[in-house]
Amino acid sequence: MSSIAKKKGFGSTLWDYLTTVDHKKIAVMYLAAGGLFFVIGGIEAMLIRIQLAKPDNDFVSAGLFNEIITMHGTTMIFLAAMPILFGFMNAVMPLQIGARDVAFPFLNSLGFWLFLFGGIFLNLSWFMGGAPDAGWTSYASLSLASPGHGIDFYALGLQIAGAGTYIGGINFLVTIINMRAPGMTYMRMPLFTWTTFVASALILFAFPPLTVGIFFLILDRMFGANFFDHTMGGNTIIWEHLFWIFGHPEVYILILPAFGIFSEIFALFARKRLFGYSSMVFATVLIGFLGFMVWAHHMFTVGLGPTANAIFAVATMAIAVPTGMKIFNWLLTIWGGSIKVTTPMLYALAFIPSFVAGGVTGIMQAAAPLDYQLHDSYFIVAHFHYVIVGGVVLAILAAVHLYWPLMFNQMLSEKLGKWTFWFFFIGFHLTFFIQHFLGLMGMPRRVFTFGANQGWDLFNLISSIGAAFMAVGVVILVVNIIITVVKNVPVGNDPWEDGRTLEWAIPQPVPFYNFKQTPLVRGLDTFWIEKMEGNKEGMTYAEPLSDIHMPNGSIIPIVMTIGLFIGAFGALYNGEKDWAIPVLVLGLAITFGAMAVRSLKDDHGFHIHKEDLMNDEGGK
Amino acid sequence: MDFNKKYTPQTWPDHPEQVTLEGKNKFLGFWLFLGGETVLFASLFATYLALKNKGPSGMEFSTNTLFELPLVFVMTMILLTSSLTSVYAMYHMKNHNFRGMQTWLAITVLLGLAFLGLEIYEFNHYVHLGFTYGQSAFSSAFFTLVGTHGLHVVVGLVWIILLILRNAKRGFSLYNAPKYYTASLYWHFIDVVWVFIFTVVYLMGVVG
Amino acid sequence: MSHDAQVYVRSQTEFEYIKQKRKKDMRNQVTSFAIMIFLTLIAFTAVAAGFSVYLIVPVILLLAAVQVVLQLYYFMHMSEENHQVAAFFLYSAVMLAFTFVLTFLTIVWWG
């Protein structure tokens, strides 16, 4: 079979994407789907701010407002931020370590489809009797009491999407451990790969408790169990523990890759080796470890007792130490560098003060007595938006500009990129800075409106204006993307001219087998080393040109996912409709049938022959 | 590389499951998955312990009157033995003795089925006593913890049976060796979880 | 990164040696199985005999831990080389498992 791609019609391109196991194409799909959910979550955010722009507003009803805030949080965390980061991990990490694909290409595709269909299932709730309305944390007493099917959509949708994330986590871990190119020791891995590694380890251990918690919720609501019903001996605190055992590491699953992206950007655009590389690695691992030991700081006001609160308060404050190390390392990377202020670099520079502000308010809440004051107020809302928007979203926007040429061989407009940045950055601080004070003035979070005599009018209006600025920024980004895609000017490899790591050394567009010959890594920032020594090719090779073994594409992942998608409707209507159990069984049968087919049918992949490789001028 | 290449006992590698890159990935990925499973079962155990003997006021069921040790003892012995038989199967895989491995795996499957039958009998018995799934928080936690283990047994059985049937006429290759190896790891892990179930749920339940 | 497996043909002596070695390993496996059965018997007997709760509970938990270590290191071959990463992740999981159980026993607000 000929192994080199040809021009294709729309149908075969679609089929290609439905069956692909290529990490680069899966990355594009993650980015597109995550981007779509990001826009949906953003629209929900705008609705929230419109409702709160003036006192006694009746733009949306109280019930609808609850649905919107729940879906905003859930969508942004599970369906936007994480998938977009997964997109960058998929696109960049295998190239950074010199691998031809991830360890389990089939599972990579399965993970994506699970996420996508889980997200679609969750959002179908809008059209099928109402969205979930118990907040993204879905605390059990509240969510058990919620009428309709909203919470069921939440539980089943997140279960499906969560399975995809879990699979992705294991996949990245094995890829990084087993498939590094010769010479790519652990202490030569680029920081983005390191943060991917630690975030994946967190996924491995954080998602099973969430799975268990959500299963309890599903069983309680749909199958007659009594885990959380106190009249039957259940305990609602169990949900809170399970949720936050997952929920806190989740914060680090999001922020660590963001740290990785910024570490790459600082080194690249300061044109200097990352300061304190080994301490950066150490800090990343330490944050990952501590991230698991602090979940109860979300539960200070539950009444766990002074001992528990003290332990978790101290552990939480301890996280500030490795995070502080990172901040100083970044500052010292810029120090004395030959700085180029490109769009990604602008985001990185803006990230430091923004994130530090979020971190400092975090330390304030870590003090348990003060947390009793701040809990469930707008101060909390301000805090977590400062870390998530000021950290994760800025990193995502920076990475879109930074890695766009790597993923699509085109450059986003720097001019429009800077417009996006300024609108977004100013809007972000305008929206959220003032919310600290709203919180201190007593405004509780999750209220759908407030009275004119409470003195919160002006600050809320300012906050809403800021949100509009952010929206304008995102619109400019979308326009920028459309213009760039339509113009389609190829830029070749190393478009930023100062690329340091392996991914920038590959010819553009990246051939589907990534590396014709496996590279030999000779140190940290290996591409930089080669460039400094005048190696025009940018790589030293570890092997002679020979046949390459590649995996086959497969439609089975999407079939397995659709089975679960169908089965979820059966579970949802259990006890209500006659067809519920048959549909559940049918869905599971499709999934397990597809698994059996996958297991029984041998799939040896195929080889690209040496002669084809020599003829393939891929990338030029 | 030819995945269907035939080997002899003389050429069969020491660790056939870890010769190919695919095999290495599978091996490591499966161990990581077992790490995740550990955390999953820890969450179930923790919940069970928190909800043990908790129910609506005046609940008549409690661990020290409900459980019957002789049955649990038999189940434990069966599952422990099945762990040994799958070790034998892997021993024969290393020696490139295909029929030996298939036979020992078949014995493992039979023992697993016996275990499963006893577990179904046990659950059925409890339900007839009125200790149903929705009877109390305790019953929900008990059935979910032990039932999740039972579900793992079912998955393990189906997996091993499929492997035995699919490869019956093919013999060893570097393609199926990692599959056999991970299946046996999975089976051992099921036994590991059971050790904690019989200790924490049954023995500690009877003690009080 | 090579996907090709080198075929290595053992000499007769090597082959005999490795067969002997495997046999010995298998004997160790059977021994550890015997120990596991023995530990299980002790645990069940201790409970049936009705000793004090404060004696039984720590003892049977210890016995379970020993059994699991035997399973992991012998039946699941964790004692062999090439298992460092697996062991690292498994021990991390065990540590977390311990933490979860501890918190659920102490701070779920039952008082």
Number of helical (H) and strand (E) elements in chain B, helices listed first = 7, 0
| Residue B170 domain-assigned (yes or no) | yes
Domain boundary assignment for chain C: 12-106
Chain C closest CA to A492's CA: distance in Å?
Answer: 27
Q: Does the CA dihedral A363-A365-A368-A373 come out positive or negative?
A: positive
Cα separation, A433 vs A449, whole angstroms? 20
A292 and C96 within 8 Å at the Cβ level: the answer is: yes
- Report which secondary-structure segment, H or E, holds A216: helix A191-222
- State both tokens at C74: 């012998």
Whether this model's ipTM surpasses 0.90 comes out as: yes
Q: Does the CA dihedral B111-B83-A209-A154 come out positive or negative?
A: negative
pLDDT of residue C110: 62
User: Looking at the domain that runs over A10-554+603-615, which CATH code has it been given?
Assistant: 1.20.210.10
- State both tokens at A483: 């213009």
DSSP string, C16-83: HHHHHHHHHHHHHHHHHHHHHHHHHHHHHHHHHHT--HHHHHHHHHHHHHHHHHHIIIIIT-TTSTT-
In this complex, the chains that touch C, judged by 3 or more CB pairs closer than 8 A, are A, B
Contacts of residues A527-535 at CB distance under 8 Å and 24 or more positions apart, as own/partner, are: A527/A494, A527/A499, A527/A500, A527/A501, A527/A502, A528/A273, A528/A499, A528/A500, A528/A501, A530/A505
Q: Residues near A533 by Cβ (< 8 Å), separated by ≥ 6?
A: none
| Residue B22 domain-assigned (yes or no) | yes
pLDDT of residue B174: 87
Count A/C contacts: CB-CB distance under 8 Å: 42
CB contacts, 8 Å: C100 with chain B: 39, 42-43, 46
Distances (CA, A) of C8 to A395, B11, B19, C37: 50, 6, 12, 39
Q: For chain A of 620 residues, list the mean pLDDT of each consecutive stretch of 10.
A: 58 89 94 96 96 93 95 96 96 94 94 96 93 92 90 94 95 95 94 96 96 94 91 92 95 95 95 94 94 92 90 93 95 94 96 95 93 94 96 96 94 95 96 95 93 92 96 96 94 90 90 89 91 87 87 92 94 88 94 91 85 65
- Amino acid sitting at position B42: A
Cα separation, B162 vs B30, whole angstroms? 18
The structural domain count of chain B equals: 1
- State both tokens at C30: 């059977």
Contact A439, A377 (CB under 8 A): yes
Which residue matches tokens 């699941």? C76
* pLDDT tens digits, B56-101: 888 888 888 899 899 999 999 999 999 999 999 999 998 899 999 9
Contact A383, A362 (CB under 8 A): yes
| Residue B115 domain-assigned (yes or no) | yes
Cα separation, A402 vs A266, whole angstroms? 12
Other beta carbons less than 10 A from residue A526's beta carbon: 26
Nearest by CB to B28, from A177, A211, A600: name it. A177
Nearest by CB to C89, from B15, B35, B95: name it. B35
A209 and C93 within 8 Å at the Cβ level: the answer is: no
Contact A159, A218 (CB under 8 A): yes
Contact A85, A396 (CB under 8 A): yes
Contacts of residues C9-15 at CB distance under 8 Å and 24 or more positions apart, as own/partner, are: C9/B10, C9/B11, C10/B10, C10/B11, C15/B9, C15/B10
Q: CB of B3 within 8 Å of any CB in chain C?
A: no
- State both tokens at A36: 């779509």
> Residue A551, preceding bond cis, omega within 30 degrees?
no
B20 and C110 within 8 Å at the Cβ level: the answer is: no
Cα separation, A607 vs A605, whole angstroms? 7
Which residue matches tokens 């301490």? A279
Q: Residues near B204 by Cβ (< 8 Å), separated by ≥ 6?
A: B63, C57, C60
Contact B53, B62 (CB under 8 A): yes
Other beta carbons less than 10 A from residue A465's beta carbon: 14
Residue stretches of chain B with pLDDT short of 50: none
A302 and C109 within 8 Å at the Cβ level: the answer is: yes
Which residue on chain A is closest to B44 by alpha carbon? A212
Which residue on chain B is closest to A201 by alpha carbon? B32
A235 and B54 within 8 Å at the Cβ level: the answer is: yes
A455, with CB counted inside 10 A (0-12, 13-18, 19+), is: middle
pLDDT of residue A615: 76
Cα separation, B82 vs B199, whole angstroms? 18
- Count CA atoms within 13 Å of residue C97 on its CB side: 19
Which residue in A16, A34, A20, A32 sits closest to A110, CA to CA?
Answer: A20
Cα separation, A426 vs A462, whole angstroms? 12
Q: What is the 3-state secondary structure (H, E, C) of A314-344?
A: HHHHHHHHHHHHHHHHHHHHHCCCCCCCCHH
Interface test with B, best of C47, C56, C68 (most B CBs within 10 A): C47
Number of helical (H) and strand (E) elements in chain A, helices listed first = 21, 4
Nearest by CB to A212, from B33, B44, B137: name it. B44
- State both tokens at A487: 């113009």
CB contacts, 8 Å: A302 with chain C: 109
The CATH number linked to B101 is 1.20.120.80
Cα separation, A565 vs A383, whole angstroms? 36
Chain C closest CA to A237's CA: distance in Å?
Answer: 6
CB contacts, 8 Å: C93 with chain A: 205
pLDDT of residue A3: 46
Nearest by CB to A308, from C2, C89, C107: name it. C107
A410-421: b (≥16 Cβ within 10 Å) or e: bbbbeebbbbbb
Do you know the residue count of chain A?
Answer: 620
Cα separation, B95 vs B89, whole angstroms? 10
**Parent domain of B180:** 17-48+68-203
Q: What is the DSSP letter of A443?
A: P
Contact A3, A62 (CB under 8 A): no
B-contacting residues in C 62-91 (Cβ below 8 Å)? 63-64, 67-68, 71-72, 75-76, 82-83, 85-86, 89-90
| Residue B106 domain-assigned (yes or no) | yes
Cα separation, A402 vs A408, whole angstroms? 11
C103 and A296 within 8 Å at the Cβ level: the answer is: yes
Contact A248, A291 (CB under 8 A): yes
CA A50 from centre of chain: 27
Domain boundary assignment for chain A: 10-554+603-615
Which residue on chain A is closest to C84 by alpha carbon? A177
Q: CB of B159 within 8 Å of any CB in chain C?
A: no
Which residue on chain A is closest to B132 by alpha carbon? A225
Q: CB of C93 within 8 Å of any CB in chain A?
A: yes
